[in-house]
Amino acid sequence: MKILFFFISVYLLTSLSLTAGETINRIIATIGQKSVTQMDYDKALEKYKLLFKNTKSPYKGSLNTQIIDFLISRLIIEITSDEETITVTPKRIESEISRIMENSGISDRLAFEKHITERMGIPFQVWEEELPYQIMKNQLIQVRVPVRSPTEEEIQKWYNQNKSKIGFEFKYREIAIVPKNKSFDEEDRVSNEINQIKKEIRKDKSSFNLIASGPRNNSFHRNGFVDWTPIGEIFKENRFVANYLMQLKEGTFSDVFRDEKNRYCIIKVEGKRFTPLEVIRRYIQNVLQGEKIEASFDEWILERRKELPIFIYDKSYLIENKLEAPDESFNANKLIY
């Protein structure tokens, strides 16, 4: 009876504290043996806003509901990682940071931290705090989350919807005259020569190929001809040529221009087309696979929520999501046993 009285006293004191709202770190939810507390919530609030400032959040509802679901998902990742004996030690985190630095081509730690902050749009410290969850998530995707590969139909659909954004390929021919030196007389000679060529082409368009194949052409390419090449690759080699190609229609040629290599040029577009599917098939597969991985992981989290004992005590969350409050009634019989 003394033991029973002790437990009743503790319960009543705790209940009064909860009723009066005096608890500093109230429990918002429990997942198995783990819990989400008010302190967890407060800490996650600002982090959540930073993480999803520039990206779409997978969580729905009010901000309060999103934060709680975010924290529940984190605990699900931790619980399942424990089941799979996935451990993320400080040493492993540092090893992962070193790997990412190496892949980024950055050896200086401070420069890397600045790079991450600028690229991700969040403070490096926040990114670093999130890294253990990303490591656990990636491991779980390999061992627990079923992800199917994109189908041919999905690849074709994505290509049809996005090919205009991917860019074009061009085949073109160029005539280029290069000054032998930087003297004014040489520049004047080359300018007169290329403008004379321009007059000949305007008079007879068919003469373009003949001139491009002749001795006057100083192009790097044989007969001045460049076969189908993505515009991105052309831009890397010569941004002036790339810019003119994007302005011209098939079968037309440019005005005289001077490129960054000090060549006086005229180019003719011989073909323009969307980048073919086969050229970017692997890229599309990677994009779709990435999307499927994220979608599959979100679905897996929802399934795990059904499997694990989860109790939520936040009244606003319960009302918004039309859920019944967990049974928190005191049962003295349970204490006796």
**Helical (H) or strand (E) element with 168:** strand 168-177
Distance CA 155, CA 9 (A): 65
Domains of the chain and CATH, by start = 2-148+283-336 (1.10.4030.10), 168-274 (3.10.50.40)
Distance CA 137, CA 139 (A): 5
The amino acid at residue 104 is S
Which residue from 227, 126, 119 is spatially nearest to 170, judged by alpha carbons? Answer: 227
What pLDDT score was predicted for residue 6? 42
Contact 193, 216 (CB under 8 A): yes
Torsional class of 248: left (φ above 0), alpha (ψ -120 to 50), beta (otherwise): beta
* Dihedral over alpha carbons 87, 92, 96, 97 (to 10 degrees): 130
What pLDDT score was predicted for residue 325? 83
What pLDDT score was predicted for residue 328? 55
Encoding tokens for residue 56? Answer: 């779409």
Contact 246, 167 (CB under 8 A): no
Query: How far does CA 78 lie from the centroid of its chain?
Result: 24
Per-residue pLDDT of the chain (337 residues; tens, 9 = 90+): 444 444 444 444 444 444 444 456 899 999 989 999 999 999 999 999 999 988 888 999 999 999 999 999 999 999 999 999 999 999 999 999 999 999 989 999 999 999 999 988 899 999 999 999 999 999 999 999 999 899 999 999 999 998 878 889 999 999 999 999 889 999 999 999 999 999 999 999 999 999 999 999 999 899 999 999 998 889 988 899 999 999 999 999 999 999 888 899 999 999 999 989 988 899 899 999 999 999 999 999 999 999 999 999 999 999 999 998 886 543 333 333 2
Query: 10 Å Cβ neighbour count for 330?
Result: 12
Question: 250: which DSSP letter?
Answer: T
What pLDDT score was predicted for residue 17? 43
Which residue from 169, 136, 152 is spatially nearest to 250, judged by alpha carbons? Answer: 169
- Between the two ends of the chain, the Cα-to-Cα distance in Å is 12
Which ranges in the chain belong to alpha helices (H)?
2-19, 38-51, 63-83, 90-104, 109-120, 124-143, 152-166, 184-203, 207-212, 231-237, 239-247, 277-307, 315-320, 332-336
